[in-house]
Amino acid sequence: MAKKTLLIVGLGNPGEKYAHTRHNVGFEVMSRLEGYYGVKLRRKFLLQGQTAEITDGETKIVLCEPLTYMNKSGECIRKLLNRFKVPQEQMIVIFDDIDLPPGKVRVRKNGGAGTHNGMRSIAGCLGKTDFPRIRVGTGDRPAGESLVDWVLGRPTGEEKEKMEAAFDKAAEVVRVWIKDGIEAAMQKGNQN
């Protein structure tokens, strides 16, 4: 029986309309983890998300994509933490960041919600943000383009290549976090 449970949450918006957009970085990383572990996320109505559970030695790993849309991500995450009865530091959240260049990955042990609506929702529902996070850069919008249009747009060309490499790296960082903890994940993820 598993002695420890770790939660991995990728933020995004459900539905084909939002697939592969800059805002769905978390879902892109989750698809790589699904492939790595050979599992398929299944809808859990009570959790308001899709999950898959894996046992690796004495560790239970729960993958989750909230299906509440980005602005209500905290509702699913609160239910997830309550369901598995784990402290926040045993959860890692993956999301997009316009303040980082496209394809840049940054890992932190904890921190504030910043301007990201998904993280603001989590902070509002949990009251604090004492959990590790992986930010994947999308770069900021070009002058004159709205933020909504930018984050809901799809990267192309060189930007897309950088993003794909970042999704792979973020998934690898998650695996390091599972095996060796947040300090090792930060060392791996924060390399240039």
Residue of 23, 60, 72, 79 marked catalytic: 23
Q: Is 121 exposed, middle or buried (0-12, 13-18, 19+ CB in 10 A)?
A: buried
23 is catalytic: yes
Provide CB contacts within 8 A for 20, sequence distance 6+. 28, 154
3-class SS letters over 145-158: CCHHHHHCCCCCHH
Beta bridge partners of 76: none
Beta bridge partners of 8: 63, 92
Active site residues: 23
